[in-house]
Amino acid sequence: MSLYWDAYHETMSREQLAEIQLKRLKSLVERVYTYVPFYRQAFQEKGITLGDIRSLSDLKYLPFTTKKDLRDTYPFGLFAVPRSEIVRMHASSGTTGKPIVVGYTKKDLETWSDLVARCITMVGGTKEDVVQNSYGYGLFTGGLGIHYGTERLGATIVPISGGNTARQIMLMQDFGTTILTCTPSYALYLADEIHAAGIDLKNLRLKAGIFGAEPWSNNMRDQLEEKLGIRAHDIYGLSEVLGPGVAIECAYKNGLHICEDHFIPEIIDPVTEEPLPYGERGELVFTTLTKEGFPVIRYRTRDISALYPEKCACGRTHLRMERITGRTDDMLIIRGVNVFPTQIESVLLEFGETEPHYLLVVDRKASMDDLEIHVELSSKMFSDKIAGLEVLERKLRSRILSVLGISAKIKLVEPKSLPRSEGKAKRVIDKREL
Amino acid sequence: MRVQQISIFLENKEGRLAKVTDVLGQNGINIRALSIADTTDFGILRLIVNKPQLAYQVLKDQGFTVSTTDVIAVEVSDQPGGLSSILRLLEKVGINIEYLYAFVTQTTTAALIVFRVEQVDEAIELLQANGVRIVPGDKVYQI
């Protein structure tokens, strides 16, 4: 069993890595300047010519790419190769308008598979493993991304996609699934159903989970690891950049290693747009170095993270990114305070007395924001005395107040009464008309 | 001497209480006494039934948050001051009553009072020493 999928690239010195990055960056800039009118114009507006990129630090002079740019050029405006070279297209759900369309060349799909294989190896996966892929298949990049990466690794893929929980659990037992891949909220739902069905974890062969596509907390990790008897790893990716396989946690779970030979990450202040030093939290920005079909320059992900440069105990030299603590667009502003759903999740799980299924309901009454947190009560905490439940409500309320600085009404609800999701969890209902 | 009480968490929304009684009925479980404590958002339903263990299991299987609690049932003579004398006994030794409820039965003229206290054994001992008639669980279930 090898510790690395691609030891050469994963453990190379920072100097060697910088050399590769610069060479690839220059080639990327040349490609988009030549083939993508949008970028040529953006470069010209900033007065940048091809020879201006001489070192990696020149990256900061390049223009950003935003989600709006991707929408404005719908569907193929940012493709850097003729449409006939594109062998697959994926798209975002387009809940807020036209979807974002991304295209992959044959070589892009190979790179993608290779990076996902790298990620699965990083969590201890080998060709002996059975990977149950419960990410949705289709235009969403999660399902097919993991699928081809698993095949590339040579492990066995179970392409079940999301949903049909009873069948998921049956196959998990019968096929001896060792690695589960899905959103963390669906994993939690599966875990609850496994327990409800009275299945002994000893009858499952699960050893690891690769969970992503939505922000989640370390407390959620603890829950998943305990309930499923596995190691839970955070994987990161987004279709605009590649899909899953941009970054993943190694065995040390001390941040996610970014596949830096293919992507240059930056952290910027979302307001001033200035790059921030290592360790500071801000908006994550990616430049894709090797993508042919749909390369992006300094794509603003809206995800909040921080970067850490120290070499990891696993031997990898690639930068680690802090797990996503929120999104600039998921962030709720309640009475002027920035609130991320993951912060509330973390508080709830800290108590361990309530189910980690929750819903935030925000409303505005008489020009005052009102936050209600609906929390499923677990039998562990249930008391036959009203006072016992009131104490729980008060404790949660005061903890939320000290963590977030805002008061919230806690509403205890019956188990399984909040809507379950088979994909990304719906955590917020914002009724305010802003 | 203890009596097993079933407690169920109920959100204040339509049909939840009916769902509980449906589940019990379908499983041949008979309710002997019930009480509901409620707040704006939720209530706690407390039940004395003829088959407490079965009731606990079937309700749990139906996804309810349910627990069992040991309570004490005493027979109180139907005359002025009957309950008062018992409450005084407990008060004197500092046993706090969390809640209580009463029910009448056809087989006896006395009222049955169900107590919930923290110190169950202490309370039973005290009441017995003072000649209060305690009705044990197996009797209460069969009333």
Task: List B residues 89-128 in contact with A (Cβ-Cβ < 8 A).
Answer: 98-99, 116
CB contact under 8 A, B44 and A385: yes
Q: Is residue B81 part of a domain?
A: yes
- Assign a CATH topology to domain A332-430: GMP Synthetase; Chain A, domain 3 (3.30.300)
User: Residue B62: which domain range?
Assistant: 2-69
Which residues, including other chains, have CB under 8 Å from residue A301's CB and lie 6 or more apart?
Answer: A238, A240, A241, A283, A284, A285, A286
Q: Is A378 in the B-facing interface, judged by CB distances under 8 Å?
A: yes
Regarding whether B115 and B88 lie in a shared domain, the answer is yes
Q: Is residue B9 part of a domain?
A: yes
Regarding whether B34 and B53 lie in a shared domain, the answer is yes
CB contact under 8 A, B116 and A384: yes
Helices (H) and strands (E) in chain A, counts: 11, 21
Same CATH fold assignment for domains A1-329 and A332-430: no
Check which CATH number belongs to the domain holding B29 and give it: 3.30.2130.10
User: A385: which chain B residues are within 8 Å (Cβ-Cβ)?
Assistant: 44, 98-99, 116
Q: Is residue B75 part of a domain?
A: yes
Q: Is B57 in the A-facing interface, judged by CB distances under 8 Å?
A: no
- Nearest-CB residue to B66 (from A379, A411, A413): A379
Residue ranges covered by each domain of chain A = 1-329, 332-430
CB contact under 8 A, B65 and A386: no
Q: Which of A312, A293, A317, A176 has the alpha carbon at shortest distance from A240?
A: A293
Identity at B63, one-letter amino acid code: G
% of chain A beyond a pLDDT of 70 = 95
pTM of the model: 0.72
The predicted-structure confidence for A27-81, as pLDDT tens digits, reads as follows 999 999 999 999 999 999 999 998 899 999 999 999 999 988 998 999 999 999 9
Q: Is residue B141 part of a domain?
A: no
* Final residue before a domain boundary, out of B23, B47, B69: B69
* Distance of alpha carbon A16 from alpha carbon A394, whole angstroms: 55
Per-residue pLDDT at B101: 92
Check which CATH number belongs to the domain holding B107 and give it: 3.30.70.260
The predicted-structure confidence for B18-49, as pLDDT tens digits, reads as follows 999 999 999 999 999 999 998 888 999 999 99
Pick the CATH number of A1-329 from 3.40.50.170, 3.20.20.100, 1.20.140.10, 3.40.50.12780: 3.40.50.12780
Q: How many CB atoms lie within 10 A of CB A80?
A: 21
Q: How many CB atoms lie within 10 A of CB A229?
A: 13
Regarding whether B77 and B61 lie in a shared domain, the answer is no
Distance from CA of B49 to the nearest CA of A (A): 16
Where residue B123 falls among pLDDT bands split at 50, 70, 90?
very high
Which residues, including other chains, have CB under 8 Å from residue A204's CB and lie 6 or more apart?
Answer: A172, A173, A177, A194, A228, A229
* Distance of alpha carbon B96 from alpha carbon A317, whole angstroms: 64
Specify the number of domains making up chain B.
Answer: 2
Q: Is residue B25 part of a domain?
A: yes
Nearest CA in chain B to A383: B67
Regarding whether B61 and B22 lie in a shared domain, the answer is yes
* Final residue before a domain boundary, out of B23, B54, B69: B69
More confident residue, B96 or A271: B96
* Distance of alpha carbon A242 from alpha carbon A301, whole angstroms: 12
Distance from CA of B71 to the nearest CA of A (A): 11
Q: Is A420 in the B-facing interface, judged by CB distances under 8 Å?
A: no
The predicted-structure confidence for A323-338, as pLDDT tens digits, reads as follows 987 777 677 878 777 7
Q: Are B93 and B124 in contact (CB under 8 A)?
A: no
